[in-house]
Structure 1
Amino acid sequence: MKQIHTSFNEAVKDITDGSTIMVGGFGLVGIPENLILALRDSEVKHLTVISNNCGVDDWGLGLLLQNKQIDKMIGSYVGENKEFERQVLSGELEVELVPQGTLAERIRAGGAGIPAFYTPAGVGTPIAEGIEVRTFNNKEYLLQTALKADFSLVRAAVGDKKGNLIYRKTAQNFNPMIATAGNVTIAEVEELVEPGTLSPAQIHTPGIYVQRLIEGKQEKRIEKLTITQHA
């Protein structure tokens, strides 16, 4: 059995100043909402955060930005977060922007034990500055290094007490690869079930990658609501 917590604050209490964390989600979809809130409340500082984006101004990782808890952000998208933009332009926040597919592969490589790989994405752009370029089959490729983290925070729809996880539809996004790339992976699940309940054929993340579990309800906020009016 894994460590099963009933307190979100307890689940993240050993995330200390200067830690590197990966956080699942895409926009506000599939983010570990309650674990992020617990990190905000912990007031841990000088974090390096690896995630597709940094939430919005008042939710998700945007809460940690507001609280000045993040020193460096590695992601692919600034998004709708005005505070993110402000901190970048003022020099308060260090940002490493990575093409989205490259970011996903760097995380996957970290989880798979692959130290680096070559990709054509970014050749001839500012992203290539200072990066080794090699030619394969008459085409240039950039060397990209793998990403790993001290802690990975993920969100799943269902998990069992052995740590096996199932994600819901597009909420899967970055979560499976992030779950593999942390020294300690903490999974926030909407429903926690007994071992043997989940069909092995449906499991997205095997329990071997997960060290801690906690069950909790999410608000599941909508980042940008778009409606269509019909005459």
Structure 2
Amino acid sequence: MGVARLVLALIRTIIFQIAFLGGSLVLVPLALLLGLLSGQGPLLYIGPKLWAGWFRLTSRVITGIRIEIDGEIPAGPHLFALKHESALEAILTLWWFERPAVVMKQELHRIPIWGLASARHGSIFVDRAGSAAMLREMMARAQAAVALGRPVVIFPEGTRVEVGQTPELAAGFAGLYKMLKLPVVPIALDSGSVWPKSFIKYPGTVRLLVGAPIPPGLKRDEVEARVHAAINLLQGTRP
């Protein structure tokens, strides 16, 4: 990338950060307030949807990042298994899915106000050390979400990875799959090239490839192999 394009990307990233974080100062407390007032009613889901929509708008208009979805995301209770390369898909799970219960790392729960709002929305926080108690709590929270007709979203490799990395699936995925008895919908994506861990974000198109549902009841080795292959289909395909 030339110097001029790099400088332009930097400027756009700074403007995006100001706009998105500025909007978040309003929308995140609003999401918490609505969540506290709503019980399990529709107000609970409005705030997170608005926040994710603001992220989608600012990232598209300011940084020039487009989203292209190949395939249809099914409605209703499913176990969605996503590749995880950036913060972009972590936030946009709240936009792509209807009332999702997202499995995420425990450290995010400690973010002031946001962590409380996310917990109230039904996020499932897990300790990446993978203790037995943590796994039991994850299972219980996931079951409660499904009982309300909500999908469960997990990043089955357990953490964000660099472009091209394809680690084995973390242990928690197989446990959720066995317990929930839901179809798994694997989703491949390639966000890391435009949204790397570095500060600067780059214009471009992020592709999501929605795989065919994998039925419940398969043996662990088989379902893990199928999910691992499906979420990594886009690795190495970006020119």
TM-score scaled by length of structure 2: 0.31
TM-score scaled by length of structure 1: 0.32
Which protein is richer in helix relative to its size? Answer: 2
Which protein is richer in strand relative to its size? Answer: 1
